[in-house]
Structure 1
């Protein structure tokens, strides 16, 4: 019998002393800023599931299942995003991680979940469990100092191009119902291009804001400047959104969403924000589907590109047609 077979598995049941152990293990294994870990264990752990593995009375491993309401072919499905997969160093190579993964996959299948997804650290391991890479990302690494030297950083997007930006905090202060309105706009835009994506709600956007504000960042909406309608009203159109965090002199842009082929202007907005924050480097993670050759050429300087982690997914009910849709028409940008 392997050590994996001898370990005891149980789901976290809300015990404060157990959560403290889980937090300690998280801090020891993952290189997350304290502020982010505080947010995660205060907000996310109120709603997620955590499978724990014990060797005797000692916590040896964990898997976090974070719930998302996914839009799947026009219907809402509760699915789980697998994060925080970890085994303490002294208990590795004993089959514990594999036993935990088998348990959570079996439980989700039994509960009738359509699919599960994750951002892989080791693709080959998850491939052995049946996961497939369904969503590819690119990482654009831009030297802001080089942009300034070339004098190609735009001063403002609200000129001829007709674009402007606002962070969600400012929008919420201006209009109490803005998160309801904005989540609807994002859902409508995503539905035009994708059949599977996380359904946006005001709570989703609020959580998104908290996630990034604790890391010296925020969430930014990029708007196409208003068009005058026949009745004299001005119509604003959402061009895209992105979130960002700042560490030292580098801005990291994630959750990059561009609608109606406005990718250039959303990227322009990120570049301008990085310059105004006195960052010397900008790293943008975006869907491979957003990428076009113009992005590499538009700034007039070299843009270093690397493959991102992307997302892998597994159909829990063995639905081949669902996997095809995940490959061809899905959008993922969740972080935790």
Structure 2
């Protein structure tokens, strides 16, 4: 039976989690099954009361240009060892996408353990994890450090976490057009998550000014979890970064609200682009759309005419045909499909994506 687990029944997933992800420490699992399951949704395939396969829909508020979207980050995607290769995960993923489509969720995203698992379901890479480096001389000689992980909860730490969240939100807003929004609740959870892996989470000050925010974690292998800041304190590492996050557009008519005509497109007030979208897994997406594009917004409507009749309409752009994978990679600003080359100077995809969530 496929069902969403509720309340204490969510704890039934821990056995499978520990089997599938043995690299996670007991302390991290304690954190996850204490904190993250409070507001997530766990879709599970159960048999005789035992969880045989699962996926966790962890909710985030994602800022996309001027819109705030409720978007799920997929984690804990796993099947019992002895039940694999029976199509259980396919059934869960199709059920999940159908539910998300009914909810009009614009997209969902994940960090793949193996990208081959998710490509058959329309997921593509949309974000490269770019490295950042702190100037060690400035860190040692100039910057003052204030921690964000309290030994004992206090008003001082709560105020500092709020200050850090507001600083992170401003920093992300200056550099990126799509990111998970930061607030005090986000910072509190992040501090708990870092602490579960014996981590540190610190603000670095240059006088009264926040210069950077950094976190390190790992009980066995120490690694940098995050680093935010600008020059001269923080610089971007060389290289393009490694592909890290995959995503899938679920409701294209919602997602395109953040896409628009380029300022220099020379199309007057707007234009209409017939779009043939191929999405064999979500029938509501598949088919012919009319894409209305203006300088501050765009929207989709189902085409009421045949393709032949559309081509006869004056003022329409030539028809564009895309798969859902091509549309996702393009509109996230990750790569430009060959079919889109004629429209590069007309349509402006998102510029700047930042998704560094772990769970």
Q: Same fold (TM over 0.5)?
A: yes
Q: Is the counterpart of residue 11 in structure 1 residue 4 in structure 2?
A: yes
Q: Is the counterpart of residue 252 in structure 1 residue 223 in structure 2?
A: yes
The aligned residue for residue 329 of structure 1 is 352
The aligned residue for residue 126 of structure 2 is 134
Q: What SS class does the counterpart of residue 134 from structure 1 fall into?
A: strand
Q: Is the counterpart of residue 74 in structure 1 residue 66 in structure 2?
A: yes
Q: What SS class does the counterpart of residue 52 from structure 1 fall into?
A: strand
* Displacement of 1:158: 5.3
Cα separation, 2, equivalents of 1:247 and 1:139: 21
TM-aligned CA distance change 1:54 to 1:200, over 3 Å: same
Task: List runs of 5+ in structure 2 lacking aligned partners.
Answer: 260-326, 335-350
Cα displacement string for residues 173-204 of structure 1 (whole angstroms, at most 9, x for unaligned residues)? 64652222221111111111111111101010
Q: What SS class does the counterpart of residue 24 from structure 1 fall into?
A: helix
The aligned residue for residue 119 of structure 1 is 111
Q: Which residue, out of 26, 29, 34, partners 2:17?
A: 26
The aligned residue for residue 145 of structure 1 is none
* Displacement of 1:259: 3.3
- TM-score normalized with structure 2 length: 0.67
Q: What SS class does the counterpart of residue 192 from structure 2 fall into?
A: helix
TM-aligned CA distance change 1:114 to 1:246, over 3 Å: same
Kept in 2: contact 1:139–1:308 (CA 8 A): no
Q: How does 1:1-336 map to 2 (within 5 A)?
A: 8-14=1-7, 16=8, 18-31=9-22, 32-137=24-129, 154=137, 157=139, 159=141, 162-169=142-149, 174=156, 176-223=158-205, 225-226=206-207, 235-236=208-209, 238-248=210-220, 250-260=221-231, 262-264=233-235, 290-292=236-238, 308=242, 310-318=244-252, 319=255, 321=259, 323=328, 324-325=331-332, 327=334, 328-336=351-359
How many residue pairs match? The answer is 266
Using CA pairs under 8 Å that are at least 6 residues apart, name the structure with larger relative contact order, 1 or 2: 1
Cα separation, 1, equivalents of 2:190 and 2:53: 27
- Most deviating of 212-221 and 88-97: 212-221
Kept in 2: contact 1:255–1:334 (CA 8 A): no
The aligned residue for residue 294 of structure 2 is none
* Displacement of 1:153: 6.7
Cα displacement string for residues 260-313 of structure 1 (whole angstroms, at most 9, x for unaligned residues)? 56424xxxxxxxxxxxxxxxxxxxxxxxxx3237xxxxxxxxxxxx97561111
Kept in 2: contact 1:35–1:215 (CA 8 A): yes
Kept in 2: contact 1:39–1:211 (CA 8 A): yes
Kept in 1: contact 2:148–2:157 (CA 8 A): no
Q: How well do the aligned residues superpose, as a CA RMSD in angstroms?
A: 2.8
Cα separation, 2, equivalents of 1:139 and 1:34: 28
Cα displacement string for residues 136-172 of structure 1 (whole angstroms, at most 9, x for unaligned residues)? 12679xxxxxxxxxxx975x7253xx33332213697
Larger Rg: 2
Q: What SS class does the counterpart of residue 247 from structure 1 fall into?
A: coil
Kept in 2: contact 1:70–1:198 (CA 8 A): yes
Q: What SS class does the counterpart of residue 139 from structure 2 fall into?
A: coil
Cα separation, 2, equivalents of 1:309 and 1:260: 24
Kept in 2: contact 1:195–1:325 (CA 8 A): no
Identify, as 1 or 2, the structure richer in helix.
1
Q: What SS class does the counterpart of residue 211 from structure 2 fall into?
A: strand
- TM-score normalized with structure 1 length: 0.71
Kept in 2: contact 1:87–1:96 (CA 8 A): yes
Kept in 2: contact 1:184–1:201 (CA 8 A): yes
